[in-house]
């Protein structure tokens, strides 16, 4: 079994700066506070695994995903990913409002690791899937939020990820597009791709994941099979 992700001794700390509210206090050096978001995270995810990450708000799930995707770096520890990592959580990241939809496909696609040749071969399918053909040559600032999300999803899916990260609460477009998007995700579930789902919806995790990672206060509280879901539900 090949590894898709290796996290070794991950520790992430943020420095919080507190502003002084009074005129006198503004001349005094502001107080800072250290916040530990993740500590002692050790996790190996094998290629093809379907991982469900659960935990209360503030447990470190989002920070962990940002480290896996490379959006942020750990304060200490090592992160290794093997293959192309695509996130479906922030679908508008990398877009430029003044560029056309067509131009944004090329820019965003390259940011996701696609070659120019690959984008050219898939651009017709990307535009068709996003259902924005009549607007493809207009600037992105004229697009509705739904149009931008559809375009971002379409580019990400066509980028052919090896590791897919998503939020089960993802809502994109109308019912017709939602069904099309869900069908694409389900196809990835059935493949040998690695999928990481962040969710509060226990039934969704139970139906789609082979292993559960329970985060609590910046640490992995438990990791294992689906029996963890019952423990988590009883605890909450």
pLDDT-wise least confident of 159-168, 189-198, 204-213: 159-168
Q: Record the pTM.
A: 0.82
pLDDT for 27 equals 54
Share of the chain above pLDDT 90, in %: 57
Flag whether 230 is in a domain. yes
| DSSP code for 188 | H
pLDDT for 169 equals 56
Flag whether 52 is in a domain. yes
pLDDT for 45 equals 96
SS (H, E, C) 56-87: CCCCCHHHHHHHHHCCCCCCEEEEEECCCEEE
pLDDT (tens digit per residue) in 59-72: 999 899 889 988 88
Flag whether 90 is in a domain. no
Round to whole Å and give the CA distance between 124 and 104.
14
Token couple for 38? 């993740």
pLDDT (tens digit per residue) in 112-122: 889 999 999 99
CA-to-CA dists, residue 51 to 37, 194, 206, 225, angstroms = 20, 8, 10, 10
Flag whether 12 is in a domain. yes
Total domain count, the chain: 1
Flag whether 98 is in a domain. no
| pLDDT higher than 60, residue 25 | no
| pLDDT higher than 60, residue 180 | yes
More confident residue, 126 or 182: 126
pLDDT for 200 equals 83
pLDDT-wise least confident of 41-45, 117-121, 188-192, 212-216: 188-192
**Environment class of 164 (CB within 10 Å of its CB; exposed 0-12, middle 13-18, buried 19+):** buried
Flag whether 142 is in a domain. no
Flag whether 93 is in a domain. no
pLDDT band at 26 (very low <50, low <70, confident <90, very high): low
Q: What is the CATH number of the domain that holds 24?
A: 3.40.50.300
Sign of CA dihedral 57, 44, 72, 126: negative
State the average pLDDT for the chain: 88
Flag whether 76 is in a domain. yes
């Amino acid at each position: 079994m090949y590894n898709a992700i290796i996290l070794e001794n991950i520790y992430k700390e943020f420095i919080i700066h507190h502003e002084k509210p009074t005129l006198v206090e503004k001349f005094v050096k502001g107080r800072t506070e250290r916040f530990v978001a993740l500590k002692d995270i050790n996790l190996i995810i094998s290629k093809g695994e379907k991982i469900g990450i659960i935990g209360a708000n503030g447990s470190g799930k989002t920070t962990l995903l940002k480290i896996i995707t490379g959006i942020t770096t750990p304060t200490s520890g090592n992160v290794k990913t093997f293959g192309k990592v695509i996130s479906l959580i922030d679908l508008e990241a990398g877009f430029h409002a003044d560029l056309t939809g067509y131009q944004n496909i090329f820019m965003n696609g390259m940011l996701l690791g696609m070659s120019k040749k690959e984008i050219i071969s898939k651009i017709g399918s990307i535009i068709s899937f996003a259902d924005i053909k009549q607007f493809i040559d207009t600037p992105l600032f004229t697009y509705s939020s739904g149009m931008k999300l559809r375009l971002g999803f379409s580019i990400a899916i066509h980028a052919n990820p090896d590791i897919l990260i998503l939020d089960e609460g993802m809502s994109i477009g109308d019912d017709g597009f939602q069904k099309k998007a869900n069908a694409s995700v389900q196809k990835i579930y059935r493949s040998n791709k690695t999928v990481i789902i962040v969710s509060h919806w226990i039934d969704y995790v139970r139906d789609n994941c082979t292993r559960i990672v329970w985060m609590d206060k910046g640490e992995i509280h438990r990791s294992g099979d689906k029996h963890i879901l019952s423990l988590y539900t009883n605890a909450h």
